Amino acid sequence: GVGAHPHRGFSPVSFIYEGGVHHRDSRGNNSIVYAGGTQWTNAGMGLEHSERPPYDIQALGGVQELLQVWINTPAKYKMNQPEYFPLSKEDTPTITTPDGLVTLRIPAGELDGVQGKIPTFFPVTTIMGTFATGGSYTFNFPAHHNTLLYVLSGALTVNDDTVLEAQQMALFNNVAGSFTIKANTTTNLFIGNGEPLNEPIAAHGPFVMNTQTEIMEAFRDYRMGKMGVLIED
């Protein structure tokens, strides 16, 4: 796991595929989310948090697999108060194809009329997908959005011509507005889709802001304790 550390100006989001994550932060949040769930933190003006395997996994052992994605926050919201949204597998809106070969969980955003539960600052859709061999799905997103596809395990074909295997990623400039995925074997994947912010980015360590001055201010505020202090028991 990862001990106490700060963030400001973006959303670190953990999509949990196996095992679980125990989140604690300097704003008093303390929760465990297991496989199939999501932990979404809007760091805002700043907080300290830790992410560790739950005690049962630490004590008894087990497999831990998650994907953490950093989602930028628009400039006008970067200094909001921090927020934390834990979402279990059971509470995550889900699409299952009629043949049962594809399961898509939508923590945030919207897919084919299914609305995710986690609010976002700008149009963003996140999808945790499980495809059985031969499972197929066509994704339709706004043509001006960008899309990321990451394969955690298995192998798939995009639009009948591009093969992606485990730990490979594709970035789409989504001009066509849609693409089709077909699984060549049992596959776990992640899709992130969003509207470009078209804002300058300044990033250093755990902070993502718009200017280098704001980065220096973030380090100053952290050292002054303005992001709170997390003391783990």
Give the 3-state secondary structure of 94-131.
EEECCCCCEEEEEEECEECCEECCECCCCCEEEEEEEE
- Residue 211's SS3 state is coil
Q: What is the pLDDT along the chain (233 residues), one digit of tens a residue?
A: 899 999 999 999 999 999 999 999 999 999 999 999 999 999 999 999 999 999 999 888 899 999 999 999 999 999 999 999 999 999 999 999 999 999 999 999 999 999 999 999 999 999 999 999 999 999 999 988 999 999 999 999 999 999 999 999 999 876 667 899 999 999 999 999 999 999 999 999 999 999 999 999 999 999 999 999 999 97
User: Where does 2-88+211-223 sit in CATH, by number?
Assistant: 2.60.120.10
Token pair 């490979």: residue:
168
Asked whether the CA dihedral 76, 107, 208, 32 is positive or negative, the reply is: positive
Domain(s) of CATH 2.60.120.10: residues in the chain: 2-88+211-223, 94-194
> Can you give the pLDDT at residue 111?
98
State pTM to two decimals.
0.95
Measured CA to CA, the distance from residue 92 to residue 131 in angstroms comes to 17
Q: Looking at the domain covering 94-194, what would its CATH class be?
A: mainly beta
